[in-house]
Amino acid sequence: MHNGKVFLIGAGPGDVGLLTLKAKRYMSEADVILYDYLAGDEIIAFARVDAELIYVGKKAGHHTLKQDEINRLLVDKAKKGKRVVRLKGGDPFLFGRGGEEALFLVEHGIPFEIVPGVTSAIAVPAYAGIPVTHREYASSLCVVTGHESIDKASVPWKNIVGIETIVILMGVSNIMEIAKKLLEAGKCPDTPVAAICHGTTNRQKTITTTLDRVSRDASFIQAPAIIVVGKVVELQKQLQWFENKPLFGKGILVTRPISQGNREQARLFSARLQDLGAVVYEQPTIKIISPDSFDELDSAIKQIRKYQWLIFTSVNGVIYFMQRLKVCGMDIRELYGIKIAAIGPQTKLELERYCLNVDYCPDEFVAEALVEGLKKYDKNGQHILIPRAKDARNVLENGLREQGAIPHVVAAYQTIIFENERIKDLLLDHRIDVVTLTSPSCVKGFCSIFDGEDMQAYLSGVRIACIGPITQRAAIELNLRVDTVANEYTADGLIEAILG
């Protein structure tokens, strides 16, 4: 069998957006991925679903595998013809032992590539508002390890004390000794120092102090952390941008359902919250699945020419309807002449993706508004097909019947409770500041998790934010306190309500 190949890849400092395009490509092509604890779940998610994932993380005092074992594993997998990714936090050649691994591969005749990563030595200070060089503050930079092993010569502190900016990696546990060595080497006691933990993530925390006080002021900083020594730290107060974001550090629970239709919408919702600085926990409370039978929906589709209107109340309704249209051997040409109404901009957008124009979409994204808006159309005796969730509210059906129409409601999909115990753990750990609820079904699924337990005890100090009055009403009916309701019943509207 031909040898495989090894890719030594830098995962960057933590923010998934700082992963390089080449790294992402090789991740998605790999047969095997060996990864460290600094490679987050969002980065690992780029792996193929059938890729073999092997955790080889190293923390102070605890190594899953020794370095020699990692080296041999890389060779063994490559000799089996595998494309192997060795994923490391930061850059593989900056205190990442990537050079050692590359030399071992050379000794065993294994082809390899190096994919540099954005190094935490520069990126983390940048996210804290600290430029490691500045024309008026520092024109020299030194990066050193603060984690000295017994088989390695000590850092020559006397030789580097004159360098204007010193960035120390892996130095949290030795911070007192490092400060002492720098002071003994002649560094001024009042030299500014910054300690930054969980850099480039929404858990980032920055402490600024001076060299003679760093042992006391930064003693509670936990790894992973970067220490910056030098006058450039003074710029942090003016240039701090990341930790000034309006939702920075706030834990927000996103309870959107597991479904085909909400996957992209949920991703965009979470991404915008993260852009605002929030720590987002995507934990579904319901799951969207097919109805017990498609017979009724298929029958309606096969008789589609009898309907004058098609009304969609959700993205999922559109997706399931279009899937069954194809299964029935039909396409959108069969919808010629049929008027289409939709509730909400996302539902309208989904229809437009199929090149279908929407004749009516209410300004307020609830069934009541749709019923009111459709009054201007003559629907007396007209047949209206409504593919929607099983057991949804009957407001739309009743309202249209009162207007003389003949509504036909069919189940295009159904929602089931997704028992998610992880949510309780997050609440008990006080990681959640805001719970977002985007539908009555999500409310029902969320409340069901507690199953007789004291729900209010879990929610002490937590804000409940609902996407609109219908969801709010469902929450109140289940004795769930609601603190925030969106004025515009969309994901963006919900975010604005949380910010307000």
Instruction: Tell me how far the alpha carbon of residue 358 is from its chain's centroid.
Output: 32
Catalytic entry in 58, 79, 245, 424: 58
Which residues neighbour 230 within 8 Å (Cβ) at sequence distance 6 or greater?
A: 137, 138, 164, 165, 166, 191, 192
Three-state secondary structure call for residue 162: coil
Encoded tokens for 383: 């047949």
Alpha helices in 342-468 (DSSP H): 345-353, 367-373, 395-402, 422-428, 440-448, 455-458
Cα–Cα distance measured from residue 489 to residue 468, given in angstroms and rounded to the nearest whole number: 5
Q: Does the annotation count 58 as an active-site position?
A: yes
Cα–Cα distance measured from residue 204 to residue 89, given in angstroms and rounded to the nearest whole number: 16
Catalytic entry in 15, 31, 36, 91: 36
3-state secondary structure 206-230: EEEEECCCHHHHCCCCCCCEEEEEC
* 8 A C-beta contact, residue 221 and residue 195: yes
Maximum CA pair distance of the chain?
A: 92
Encoded tokens for 420: 């998610």
Catalogue the E-assigned strands of 134-220.
141-145, 165-169, 192-197, 205-210
Core vs surface per residue 489-500: b (16+ CB within 10 A) or e? bbbebbbebbee
Catalytic entry in 5, 88, 170, 322: 170
Encoded tokens for 465: 């934010």
Alpha helices in 354-437 (DSSP H): 367-373, 395-402, 422-428
* 8 A C-beta contact, residue 101 and residue 9: no
Which residues neighbour 323 within 8 Å (Cβ) at sequence distance 6 or greater?
A: none
Place of tokens 């710029």: 235
Residue type, 389: A
Distances (CA, A) of 129 to 238, 251, 422: 8, 23, 35
Query: Which amino acids are annotated catalytic?
Result: 36, 58, 170
